[in-house]
Structure 1
Amino acid sequence: MKTGQRQGLLDKLVFAAGLRRWSQAAHAAPDMDIAALRESRNRARRLRAQLDRLIHVAEERLALPMIGNQAFPRPVDADWSWRPELWCGPLRTPGISSVETQSMLGGEATLFHDCVHSELTLRQIRNMREADLAAYGLRMDVFRFDGSYLSLAIDLPQEASQGLKRSHLIRIETIVEMEKPLEIFARLNIKHGPNTEQIVRELPLNEEEIHVEFDLAYTKLNEKRVEKIWLDLIFEGPEMNQVILRDLTFSRRKRAAL
């Protein structure tokens, strides 16, 4: 028997012995003498304090979305799907204040703007809602905004480019919260050789499910030279607003044959 297995068996035996002992004490309590009963009560209280602490922490953690979770609804015929790291697990640097243009949060998300004085903050936050599948979200706070554009670029992994065809549809889904209404546009960029194809869609923020699809049939994509794919989320009129992206997922599927 391996060391880990022996330790696991020993833990089970110790737990069973302890449980049996406290069960016997509870059964004997009505007939105990006062001194023994008082001592048993004090020991039980000390044990209960630690058990209550463990249960409280465990229930809180187990109620949260699982860290690293890549599970989310996707088309049944999807041949690739992905949730970026920012929405999956804790980042080494969880936030940035006075964000300069081209600042990265994690290895895949980059903020672009042309503000002279940056009054922007980005922060990864832990999702707490029962409905959330993503473990983390992204909160962006915008105070005074003296620029003309603000966008968040998400670099897609190399797997998204492999085998990409003009017959593909690329779908993004997101959950957005905001303090006041604004417009968000999603622009898919596909670099192939010296050229870059761009497709722009407005996110339907007034709908319950926020998703858009990019149909590559309307591009001049050179399927043999696809090098890189990234998504720009473009925020129109972001001043004095807080935007939270609770989740962001991608999937790819072939268009149905006509």
Structure 2
Amino acid sequence: MAKRTGLLKELMYQASLRRWSRAARGADETDLVQLRAQRAKARRLRAHLNRLIHVAESRLALPMIGSTAFQKPFDADWDWRPELWRGPLPVPGMSSVANKSMLGHEVTLFHDCQRSELTLRQVRNMREADLAPFGLRLDVFNFDGSFLSLVVDLPEDAVRGLQKRHLVRVDTIVEMEKPLEVFARLNIKHGPNTEQIVRELPLGDEEVMVEFDLAYTKLNEKRVEKMWLDLIFEGPQMNQVTLRDLTFSRRPRAEL
């Protein structure tokens, strides 16, 4: 039934297209009364078509929801974009964010403010250059705490087969109202111990990449349990930070 309905709609569309094509070809010789009526119909039709084209071009230009496409090393054996940057969340944001508040299942905000003047929300990426469908915006007003960090929990796949010969790469696109120091700390729990590697994100660069070399850790490859990333913001008061994208990948270092 659905197939028959689709065929009928296509036939009606083709018939309408032929009718308007004939009208356009014969416009030079059409009776003026008939031409005036055709013009009125064409204008009404054009208004709907222009609206459709405008909305379609706007929506189709946006990054596709659920997209996992991003640039990664050709020899990566694992890659991932967290859910917040991939698809719409049931709760897209919160204000006066309390310590240890989660946005989605993978992102948690930590701080020690007595009075929270923080907002956290998911935003739709609209730029043509964006590959991630969504971004994360953090607004900080008065800040009376000593630390502010955003923690991203990585999935089990991230540590499956993880070895000291791996390089873990983080790519992000950062926008901020004014310069801000941001540090990325990779944490790997193995048994009772946790390895931590810290890198500072380059100031002034919108597209940022940092790599963590596990060769310089004391990682026990047989006891790796989980991995997470802290993004630590230094002096964040009266600032707005937008993470347009955040992706992870890992690759084995070339043998010497």
What percentage of residue pairs aligned between the two structures are identical? 72
Contact 2:174 2:206 in 1 (8 A): no
| Mapped partners of 2:130, 2:201: distance in 1 | 20
Name the SS of the counterpart of 1:239 in structure 2.
coil
| Mapped partners of 2:177, 2:40: distance in 1 | 51
Q: How many residues align?
A: 256
Name the SS of the counterpart of 1:104 in structure 2.
strand
What is the Cα deviation at residue 4 of structure 1? 4.2
What is the Cα deviation at residue 6 of structure 1? 3.3
| Mapped partners of 1:224, 1:120: distance in 2 | 40
Name the SS of the counterpart of 1:62 in structure 2.
helix
What is the Cα deviation at residue 132 of structure 1? 1.2
Tell me what 1:157 maps to: 155
What is the Cα deviation at residue 160 of structure 1? 0.5
Q: Would the alpha carbon gap of residues 237 and 125 (structure 1) be closer, same or farther in structure 2, given more than 3 Å must change? A: same
Contact 2:136 2:243 in 1 (8 A): yes
| Mapped partners of 1:113, 1:209: distance in 2 | 26
* Aligned AA (1:129): R
Alignment match of 1:212 (pick from 207, 210, 213):
210
Unmatched segments (≥5 aa) in structure 2 = none
Residues 177-256 of structure 1 aligned to structure 2 (within 5 Å): 177-207=175-205, 209-256=207-254
Contact 2:174 2:207 in 1 (8 A): no
Tell me what 2:75 maps to: 77
Q: What's the TM-score once normalised by structure 2's chain length?
A: 0.96
Contact 1:176 1:205 in 2 (8 A): no
Q: Would the alpha carbon gap of residues 4 and 212 (structure 1) be closer, same or farther in structure 2, given more than 3 Å must change? A: same
Contact 2:177 2:241 in 1 (8 A): yes
| Mapped partners of 1:241, 1:78: distance in 2 | 35
| Mapped partners of 1:8, 1:68: distance in 2 | 28
| Mapped partners of 1:142, 1:105: distance in 2 | 16
Residues 28-177 of structure 1 aligned to structure 2 (within 5 Å): 28-177=26-175
Unmatched segments (≥5 aa) in structure 1 = none
Which string of whole-angstrom CA distances, capped at 9 and with x for unpartnered residues, describes residues 201-238 of structure 1? 11112346411111111112121222111100000000
Please tell me the root mean square deviation across aligned C-alpha atoms, in Å.
Answer: 1.4
Q: What's the TM-score once normalised by structure 1's chain length?
A: 0.95
Contact 1:173 1:249 in 2 (8 A): yes
| Mapped partners of 2:207, 2:94: distance in 1 | 29
